[in-house]
């Protein structure tokens, strides 16, 4: 139906793609450049992309002054736990929502959406009081609990869409072959749901990794602080900041997300259903 | 059959949720409610400059070593989120014992009863070290709810070589220029590719209101228990002079209007701006970031009818809920003794409120790097009515900042600015 694209249009496509990549990648490249610049190079009238005298001093300061290593480890623990628990809870719940349609299920989905309308600040004090009551204020477990609850509505919505895309016929075929309900779920549904589970895990990991406000308010002990809270300490009064250490810390904070995404993104496209059912 | 399986599925979900709870129960940390052993105090500090951070931590470590019965835990906060952090902690009844903040922001917490009255807990010695005008900034409804310890005055940082080239002499530390002289010198320093001054006015309200005291402009007036905003000739003087420099004399760079103080540094170091009116703490960036061979000087505050400026000192307060107020006050006495206060001020490049600390600091630094000017400027700092007004933060954000930004962008007239400020005051002031 469509002819072979001309050389010119192909070139233009590549130019547009390259432009888009530069647009997306430039902040990261600039962050990289800033992280290695000594203080004097940060305030040049005509800044350069490549530092004249690259230094690791910013990294040293970031690590020694705010103990970013420990904060990163805290963030990693909290984010991984949030991702795993969100997936564990969302998986059966989304299956139930997608497969067993009822008025209650529709109402539940509506409530899930509605819950997203509440602003953070409105909830923070009641949440703080409840967590304190049950002894979870100032603990990573409390933080994980909040992150899971916070990520669940979106995860449920996302995952039940994935469940719906799995043809019921596959489950029925497995049942006809003698598989129990659990076997159907374990051997047919969950493998096909893998991209959805990966997407859910990614979403909850990244949102927990980047979250600032709850971590700031709920965690009091310095040793338990997470990375975004530690990074904020390089920002001073009225927008002033210690740019070098901040950039170095931010660069390190970006890496785990990138690595996690790089590993997981292949799984996003796996589990293709093409040809599973004859139409 | 299906129902049974569904029940199992529901049970699995329940197990997951219970597991979550179990994980929660075995979490690390937890509220420290120790009833025996040494008294434990939590100290939320907002120090963020490298040197200041070190001084704070060192002083706490030293205190802990010398006072095994009163142990202070240093907790690092940050300026941008401290308000929300404190509000939540106060509401939740889990506030730090000692809180670092600023005079203009503790009023709200003080009036809500979250901060302890320190009047009877502090020694006469500490009280005597600090001027009454400075104590007034942290006194609300007769209660002293913060110890003011670091001050930020507005000075002028100048490029020495450009001053010399234009034949502009550096004034002595105790005898700064008048506004007329400053404007005339900015004009002399202006030539193609170079502005005499750069006013960084991204957040103009505090700056304008602080400097307005130069001409006795207070903006906020009490009238029978009610506060209102008035903009007369005294209040108009500073905005008008800055506006004149921008658009009439063209001796100030319009591109700096959207910048914060530190954003102007590349232009300043590049010779684009000869003078930077700004905070005394800008000197820290000069020392750390000025290119090799760059000569800079600190000029004293500019004089109108006086060199008075509004003081918004950083403060240390004790939480009203703290079970150990006496011990917290003891720590404050130690933390803010003259030598320690001088060290804290040096670390933050600010001016100590204590007289003896100020003298020690000048001695310690031999008055170099603008410390003589900084120390001298302390005498001009005093409480301003806007700092005590309920609704000032809202007025500032909703009305004053947008109106001043429009005026400095030459979009509205001085009279329109005045009208907007007064009308804004009517909306928010109670």
Domain carrying residue B318: 39-152+312-382
**Does any domain span residue B8?**
no
**Does any domain span residue A69?**
yes
- Do B217 and B250 sit in the same domain of this protein? yes
Domain count, chain A: 1
- Do B316 and B247 sit in the same domain of this protein? no
**Does any domain span residue B261?**
yes
pLDDT tens digits for B341-364? 999 999 999 999 999 999 999 999
Model pTM? 0.80
- Do B145 and B161 sit in the same domain of this protein? no
User: Closest by alpha carbon to B139, among B99, B97, B111, B100?
Assistant: B111
Does A122 contact chain B (CB < 8 Å)?
no
pLDDT above 90: percentage of residues in chain A: 32
**Does any domain span residue B343?**
yes
**Does any domain span residue B33?**
no
**Does any domain span residue A140?**
yes
**Does any domain span residue A275?**
no
Does B76 contact chain A (CB < 8 Å)?
yes
CB contacts, 8 Å: B288 with chain A: 39
* For residue B106, pLDDT beyond 50: yes
pLDDT tens digits for B59-95? 999 999 999 999 999 998 988 889 888 988 898 888 9
Q: What is the CATH number of the domain that holds A213?
A: 1.10.3720.10
Answer yes or no: are the C-beta atoms of B408 and B382 closer than 8 Å: no
Q: Where are the extended beta strands (E) located within B79-219? A: 98-102, 139-140, 143-144, 147-151, 154-159, 195-197
* For residue A201, pLDDT beyond 50: yes
CB contacts, 8 Å: A242 with chain B: 48-50
pLDDT band at A239 (very low <50, low <70, confident <90, very high): low
Q: What is the DSSP string of chain A?
A: -PPPPPHHHHHHHHHHHHHHHHHHHHHHHHHHHHHT--HHHHT-SS--SS-SS--SHHHHHHHHHH-HHHHHHHHHHHHHHHHHHHHHHHHHHHHHHHHS--HHHHHHHHHHHHHTTS-HHHHHHHHHHHHHHTT-TTSHHHHHHHHHHHHHHHHHHHHHHHHHTS-HHHHHHHHHTT--HHHIIIIIIHHHTHHHHHHHHHHHHHHHHH--HHHHHH--SGGG--HHHHHHTTB-GGG-B-HHHHHHHHHHHHHHHHHHHHHHHHHHH-S--TTSS--
Last residue of a domain, one of B382, B405, B420: B382
**Does any domain span residue A237?**
yes
Does A217 contact chain B (CB < 8 Å)?
yes
**Does any domain span residue B7?**
no
* For residue B408, pLDDT beyond 90: yes
Closest CA of chain A from B23, distance in Å: 6
Cα nearest neighbour of B54 on chain A: A65
**Does any domain span residue A209?**
yes
- Do B266 and B339 sit in the same domain of this protein? no
Mean pLDDT of chain B: 88
Cα nearest neighbour of B102 on chain A: A237
Lowest mean pLDDT among A153-162, B4-13, B146-155: B4-13
**Does any domain span residue A42?**
no
CB contacts, 8 Å: A240 with chain B: 260-262
* For residue A227, pLDDT beyond 90: yes
pLDDT tens digits for A81-139? 999 999 999 998 888 888 887 777 778 777 777 777 777 777 888 888 899 889 898 89
**Does any domain span residue A86?**
yes
**Sheet of B195-197, strand order:** B195-197, B273-279, B154-159, B296-299
Q: What is the CATH number of the domain that holds B367?
A: 3.40.190.10
Domain carrying residue A220: 56-269
pLDDT band at A40 (very low <50, low <70, confident <90, very high): confident
- Do B158 and B130 sit in the same domain of this protein? no
Higher pLDDT, residue B326 or A221:
B326
**Does any domain span residue B78?**
yes
- Is there a contact between B28 and A139 if contact means CB atoms under 8 Å apart? yes
- Do B410 and B286 sit in the same domain of this protein? yes
Domain count, chain B: 2
**Does any domain span residue A12?**
no
Does A37 contact chain B (CB < 8 Å)?
no
The average pLDDT across B220-232 equals: 87
pLDDT band at B247 (very low <50, low <70, confident <90, very high): very high
Residue A148 has its nearest CB partner, among B20, B75, B88, at B20
**Does any domain span residue B50?**
yes
pLDDT tens digits for A202-214? 889 989 999 998 9
Chain A segment 65-104 residues within 8 A of B by beta carbon are 65-66, 81, 85, 88-89, 92-93, 95-96, 100
* For residue B33, pLDDT beyond 60: no
pLDDT of residue B18: 37
- Do B274 and B405 sit in the same domain of this protein? yes
pLDDT of residue A272: 44
- Do B124 and B242 sit in the same domain of this protein? no
């Amino acid at each position: 139906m469509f002819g072979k694209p001309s050389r010119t249009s192909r070139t233009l496509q590549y130019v547009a793609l390259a432009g888009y990549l530069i647009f997306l990648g430039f902040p990261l490249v600039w962050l990289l450049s800033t992280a290695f610049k000594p203080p004097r190079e940060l305030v040049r009238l005509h800044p350069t992309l490549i530092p004249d005298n690259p230094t690791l001093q910013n990294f040293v300061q970031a690590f020694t002054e705010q103990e970013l290593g420990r904060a990163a480890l805290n963030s990693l623990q909290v984010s991984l736990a949030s991702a795993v628990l969100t997936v564990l809870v969302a998986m059966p719940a989304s299956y139930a929502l997608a497969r067993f349609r009822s008025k209650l299920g529709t109402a539940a989905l509506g409530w899930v959406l509605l819950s997203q309308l509440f602003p953070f600040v409105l909830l923070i004090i009641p949440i703080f009081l409840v967590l304190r009551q049950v002894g979870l204020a100032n603990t990573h477990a409390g933080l994980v609990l909040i992150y899971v609850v916070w990520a669940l509505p979106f995860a449920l919505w996302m995952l039940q869409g994935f469940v719906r895309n799995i043809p019921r016929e596959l489950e029925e075929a497995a049942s006809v072959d003698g598989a129990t309900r659990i076997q159907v779920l374990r051997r047919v549904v969950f493998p096909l749901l893998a991209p959805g589970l990966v997407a859910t895990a990614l979403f909850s990991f990244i949102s927990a990794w980047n979250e600032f406000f709850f971590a700031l308010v709920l965690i009091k002990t310095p040793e338990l602080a997470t990375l975004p809270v530690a990074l904020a300490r390089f920002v001073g009064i009225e927008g002033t900041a210690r740019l070098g250490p901040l950039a170095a810390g931010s660069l390190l904070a970006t890496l785990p997300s990138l690595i996690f995404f790089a590993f997981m993104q292949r799984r996003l496209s796996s589990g293709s259903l093409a040809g599973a059912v004859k139409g | 059959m299906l129902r049974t399986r569904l029940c199992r599925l529901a049970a699995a979900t329940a197990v997951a949720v219970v597991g979550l709870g179990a994980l929660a129960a075995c979490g690390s940390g937890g509220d420290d409610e120790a009833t025996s052993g040494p008294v434990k105090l939590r100290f939320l500090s907002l120090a963020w400059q490298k040197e200041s951070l070190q001084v704070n931590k060192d002083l706490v470590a030293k205190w802990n070593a010398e006072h095994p019965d009163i142990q202070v835990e240093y907790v690092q906060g940050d300026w941008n989120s401290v308000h929300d952090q404190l509000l939540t902690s106060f509401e939740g009844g889990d506030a730090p014992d000692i809180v670092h903040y600023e005079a203009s922001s503790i009023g709200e917490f003080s009036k809500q009863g979250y901060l302890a009255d320190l009047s009877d807990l502090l020694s006469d010695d500490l009280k005597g070290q600090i001027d009454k005008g400075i104590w007034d900034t942290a006194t609300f409804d007769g209660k002293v709810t913060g110890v003011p310890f670091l001050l930020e005055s507005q000075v002028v940082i100048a490029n020495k070589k450009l001053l010399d080239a234009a034949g502009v002499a550096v004034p002595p530390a105790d005898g700064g220029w008048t506004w007329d002289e400053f404007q005339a010198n900015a004009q002399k320093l202006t030539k193609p590719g170079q502005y005499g001054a750069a006013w960084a006015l991204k957040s103009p309200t505090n700056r304008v209101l602080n400097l307005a005291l130069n001409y006795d402009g207070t903006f906020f007036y009490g009238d029978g228990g009610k506060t209102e905003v008035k903009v007369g000739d005294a209040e108009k003087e500073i905005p008008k002079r800055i506006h004149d420099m921008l658009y009439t004399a063209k001796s100030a760079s319009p591109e700096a209007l959207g910048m914060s103080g530190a954003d102007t540094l590349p232009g300043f170091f590049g010779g684009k701006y000869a003078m930077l009116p700004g905070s005394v703490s800008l000197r820290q960036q000069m020392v750390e970031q000025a290119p090799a061979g760059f000569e800079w000087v600190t000029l004293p505050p500019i004089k109108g009818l006086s060199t008075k400026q509004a003081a918004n000192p950083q403060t240390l307060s004790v939480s009203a809920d703290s079970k150990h107020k006496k011990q917290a006050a003891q720590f404050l006495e130690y933390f803010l003794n003259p030598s320690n206060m001088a060290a804290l001020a040096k670390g933050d490049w600010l001016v100590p409120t204590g007289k003896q600390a100020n003298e020690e600091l000048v001695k310690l630094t031999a008055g170099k790097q603008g410390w003589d000017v900084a120390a001298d400027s302390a005498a001009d700092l005093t409480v301003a009515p806007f700092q005590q007004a309920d609704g000032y933060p809202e007025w500032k954000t909703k009305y004053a900042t947008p109106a001043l930004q429009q005026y400095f962008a030459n979009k509205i007239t001085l009279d329109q600015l005045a009208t907007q400020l007064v009308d804004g005051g009517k909306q928010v002031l109670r």
